[in-house]
Structure 1
Amino acid sequence: MKGFNKAILTIVLLFSVAAASAQEGKKPRNWTLNGHLQDLGTVWIQDWDGTWQTMNQIKNRFDFRWYPGSFSVHIGMRNNITYGMMPKLYYPYMADLAVVDPSYLDMTRLIGKDTSYYMTSNFDRFSLRYATGNFQATVGRQRINWGINYVWNPNDIFNTFDYFDFDYVERPGCDAVHLQYYTGATSSVEAAIKIDSRDRITLAGMYRFNKWNYDFQFLGGYMTGDYVVGAGWSGNIKGAGFNGEMSYFHPEENFGDTSGVLVGSLGVNYTFRNSLMFQFAGLYNSDGTTGPAGMGTGFFIYREVSAKTFTLARYSLFGNISYPVTPLFTASLASMFNPGDNSVFVGPTFDVSITSNIEFMITAQLFFGDQGTEFGDYGKLAYGRLKWNF
């Protein structure tokens, strides 16, 4: 709790300094503050003939950035009020899971809860960056983005994101030290180390470069008990985007045997002249099963994915089509398929821009399959979101 109070005090001091700088009126403002406020409604239908479970979430985010010379500070804060039928039915489990912070520093707090609501606050960015010439170093809670693929990122070993968590567009961060040196206009060397809440270490280095109009990357290191090597690329073929990434994980405890796991993904995307866009992706996991790959409904409520375990399936396929019907209205349809157990996810989305900074979205996550399959136990979820960006 003391660490969290210190973080709050730091926020207050930074805002005070920023406000004082703005009042001087003699220098250009060297800080920014933006974020969003939104209302997200959810309906969960496990059985069409059963009870339709509902909940509502009021979410707020602040992103404060300060640029004092060669240093820069980024503090991102999320606040959430969740209430309705679902928090009541799953009390106190939803509230308890909402404050699980997987990072080394516990910067998530439960502000209040009762049998039908809970309030949380979380710092998902809290970092200091120093840059000079071609070198920069970042310390603190940050996002280390080593992934390339739109859906599955085997190279993203520091802070893997979950595709189904569509409302978290900023994506999770981690408590880490990240060093970068740009060896050229399109090449760099990076090294990073992080520690999580269970004192597990992830340490790796990466080399990026451009060749034949393709961006390539190679990495090697250690991820929470596994040695890892990986590679990725991004380019285009005949105007279509083409990317891929793969990582090989080998357990530290069984270094001499063949128990390693290979995870790889491929992606293709193409946009027509009328702005109609197609995206396709595939995932392979050598440790995955070709049979039922279900994890139960509890896993969907609290999904903890990693670059090694996006899914229990050996093969996964993804497709998405998106089209701006008007400049203010976009419709899209995404789908995921497990060929091993024939379960399917379908996700239609309709997004309307009401003003330049207010948008309304309706989306659904529809899961189909037999019981015990990857998508067979989740039912159907529908969402409505009104969001104001500032």
Structure 2
Amino acid sequence: MLVGGNVLSQNKAKNTSLNGYLQSLEMVWMPPSTEKWFTMNTISNRLDFKWYPSEHFQTYVAMRNIASYGQIPFEFYPHMADLSVKDNGKLNLTKSIVSDSSYYLYTNLDRFYVQYTSGKFEAIIGRQRINWGVNLVWTPNDIFNSANYFDFDYAERAGSDAVLLQYYTGMTSSIQFAAKVDKDDKSTYAAMYKFNRWNYDFQILVGKMSDDLVIGAGWAGQIEGAGFLGEGTYFRDKENFNDTTGVFVGSVSLNYTFKNSLMLQAAILYNSAGTTGNAGQQGMFALDLEISAKNFSRAKFSTFLQASFPITPLINASFSGMLNPNDKSGYFGPSIDISLTDNIGILLMSQLFVGKDQTEFGDYGSMFFTRLKWSF
């Protein structure tokens, strides 16, 4: 029905499109310091619908339908079911359909906006993703929609109920203004100026994120063929402006691709409010805590390395790792992505967390994933 609807819509009306995917993700979790293991299966369906009613307008609606079941929902009932329907937007567009002690099913609208474009001006109103970050892993400039790196299965990322206005002042420069309101009626708004100098793309932002006044900057360029990116944001409590020193969060990364297509990437994160002691966050579900540009990690310093290589045109291998150099805990993430056909793929991935109790990564254990995905 979905594929038929897609073909029919594209044949009969060139101003609409419908695509998406259907996938099954099997997870095995081994908690730390135990030989027990638990399983969970998640079946996800995504639908992306776009309508172009005129030359200047576009409407975009995207929906996720997700069903999870197994031992893990049973062991953590009702916490997982409740967490799944948490919607941080001003509008509650996430609804539980059914749930019980070992399964839950919910639906979520993570894109629901109207876009207007005319010449150099663009306006987007509704639930959208505003991505102001320049790095892959840690993005301190991304004050609207910071993403959790470990949530690898949600590539589209969550959206915000927001307004985005953009005016292109030149071929490589623009001015943006964005504002959002969350479920607690707290507002985030900021202006950003983007420009190019010395073959580098720069950006400067100023505004407010929730309870903090913010100012930040970022860049993207190259050094001897290697990508060189960085961004930083300073946060200052607006209610206690004179009584605090503020918090600075910054991240710098390098990436390089060799002639044989081997890609290496390294990054470092600094958080002036972070701890140099144990940075533990109370077990597995700390991975699901809300991430913001101010709290990617409780550690003062974090490091990241990643290598990826296409073994064949249809098989890509990757290995990533994080290290907290102070509490000596770490994460390792090997994966193999295999294309079975043009629109069917299988992913084999592990998330291995190591460290002592109460360290940043020491309380999570090990997770193993197998994902079969069909895109249409």
TM-score when scaled to structure 1? Answer: 0.93
Aligned pair partner of 1:272 in 239, 251, 258: 258
What SS does structure 2 have at the residue aligned with 1:149?
coil
CA distance in 1, matches of 2:86, 2:197: 42
Q: Which amino acid aligns with 2:91?
A: L
3-state SS of 1:88 partner: helix
Q: 1:61 aligns with which of 46, 66, 74?
A: 46
Larger mean CA deviation between 184-193 and 248-257 belongs to 248-257
CA contact (8 A) 2:123 2:165 kept: yes
Asked if 1:150 is matched to 2:152, the reply is no
* Structure 2 SS opposite 1:324: strand
What is the rounded CA distance, in whole Å, between the counterparts of 1:259 and 1:286 in structure 2?
10
1:304 to 290, 308, 319: 290
Which residue in the other structure is 1:215 paired with?
A: 201
Residues of 1 paired with 2:251 and 2:124: CA distance?
Answer: 29
Q: How does 1:192-211 map to 2 (within 5 A)?
A: 192-211=178-197
Shift of 1:161: 0.4
The Cα shift of 1:257 comes to 3.2
Cα deviation 1:151-201 (Å, max 9, x = unaligned):
000000001000000000011110000000000111000001000001000
Report if aligned partners of 2:237, 2:244 keep a CA contact under 8 Å in 1: no
Report deviation, 1:301: 5.0
Query: Does residue 19 of structure 2 align to residue 34 of structure 1?
Result: yes
Distance 1:101 1:299 in 2: 17
CA distance in 1, matches of 2:173, 2:375: 34
Unaligned runs of 5+ in 2: none
How far 1:302 sits from its partner (Å)? 2.4
The gaps in structure 1 that reach 5 residues or longer are: 1-15
Give the 5 Å matches for 1:140-289: 140-289=126-275
Q: Secondary structure at the match of 2:112?
A: strand
Aligned mate of 2:35, from 50, 64, 76:
50
Deviation at residue 35 of structure 1 after TM alignment: 0.6
> Deviation string for 1:330-372 (max 9, x for gaps)?
1010000001100010000011000011000100100000000
Question: Structure 2 residue aligned with 1:327, among 289, 294, 313?
Answer: 313
Which residue in 1 is equivalent to 2:88? 102
Give CA deviations for 1:286-338 in whole Å, capped at 9, x if unaligned.
Answer: 00000000101154352211000001000000000000000010101000000
Q: What residue is the counterpart of 1:73 in the other structure? A: 59
Percent identity between matched residues is 54
Normalised to the residue count of structure 2, the TM-score between the two structures is 0.96
The answer for the alignment partner of 1:8 in structure 2 is none
- How far residue 258 of structure 1 moved from its aligned partner, in angstroms, is 3.7
- Aligned-pair CA distance for 1:256: 1.4
For 2:106, which of 99, 120, 127 is the aligned residue?
120
The match for 1:10 is: none
Tell me the SS of whatever aligns to 2:111: strand
8 Å CA contact retained: 2:99, 2:105: yes
- Secondary structure of 2:267's aligned partner: strand
1:190 alignment partner AA: Q
Alpha-carbon distance between aligned partners in 2 of 1:308 and 1:351, rounded to the nearest angstrom: 32
Q: Which residue number corresponds to residue 11 of structure 1?
A: none
1:339 to 310, 325, 333: 325
Task: Output aligned runs, 1:16-35, within 5 Å.
Answer: 25=12, 29-35=14-20
User: How far off its partner does 1:67 sit?
Assistant: 1.1
Match of 1:373 among 359, 365, 376: 359
- Output the amino acid matched with 1:360: I
Deviation at residue 388 of structure 1 after TM alignment:
0.4
Is 1:384 the counterpart of 2:370? The answer is yes
CA distance in 2, matches of 1:168, 1:229: 29
* Counterpart residue identity of residue 165, structure 2: L
Q: In the alignment, what sits opposite 1:6? A: none
Task: Name the CA shift for 1:200/1:352 in 2 (closer, same or farther; >3 Å).
Answer: same
Distance across 2 between alignment mates of 1:266 and 1:50: 38
The amino acid that maps onto 2:238 is E
